[in-house]
Each structure stands twice: as C-alpha cells, then as structure tokens.
Amino acid sequence: MGWLKNRFVYTFGGIALAILAWNVWVVLNDDGIIRGEVVSASGAPVEGATVKLTERTLLVARPRGETLTDADGRFTFTGHDLHHLFLEASKEGAGHAGPLEVRLYFKGENVNLHTPLRLDGTT
C-alpha cells in the first residue's frame, strides 16, 4: 500500500474528507428554520407583529413569506431554501424594524437570531 502514501493522495483525500464532513453537517442542519424575536422600542416582546421574509440573491430580491409573532414576541419560519435574506418587522402603532440582513452558509440553514428586531416606535 506504499503507493498510497504520496502528496496527491493526501491532498485529494483531505479534500474529499472535508467535503464529506461538510455535507453531513449540512444535512443535519438544513431544515430551513429561522427563529427570532421582535421587541418594542423599550425592549419588551411584541405580540402580533408582522415579520416579512425577503429573498436576496445576486440577481433578484423577492418576498418569500410572512408570519406573526406569538405572545412572547417570537417568530419562526420553517422550510425556507434561502442563503441570503432580509427580515423586516412592523406593527401598527409600535413601529417598524429592519430590514435585517441575514446571510447563511448554505441554503436552508437553521438559524437562531440572537439580536431581536427592535421596533422603532414610530407610527
């Protein structure tokens, strides 16, 4: 098996392993779930805010979904297949937030947004 020990095998084997590992990671994390939170200008969770999801690629920008926040101000999108998107939140009387740019490493990556969308309080 000595002929296996050369730099060509090492390099391409290494690349193949890296690709394999990456694909396993992708398969485990590509449910297309986006979780986040909408808060008011004072920082309190906002229920019933509309959150809009916009797709962005090199060529197009188009709306891809809408949802409402629950009682804790949290929202969830499922099953998206995007890698570059914008989130925008608004609620009558509580103002507007965003657009917040979200870039992902692969299409449909699961993501938990750590910074909440903060409504600006304008009407």
**Contacting residues toward another protein, per CB under 8 A:** 3, 7-8, 11, 57-60, 83-84, 103-107
22 vs 44, beta carbon nearer another protein: 22
Rounded to a whole number of angstroms, the minimum distance from the CB of residue 33 to another protein is 18
Contact 69, 88 (CB under 8 A): no
Residue whose token pair is 């657009």: 99
Rounded to a whole number of angstroms, the minimum distance from the CB of residue 69 to another protein is 26
Copy the structure tokens of residue 48: 């019933």
Nearest Cα to Cα of residue 79 among 20, 28, 33, 23: 33
Q: Which residues contact 2 (CB under 8 A, 6 or more apart)?
A: none
35 vs 107, beta carbon nearer another protein: 107
8 vs 71, beta carbon nearer another protein: 8
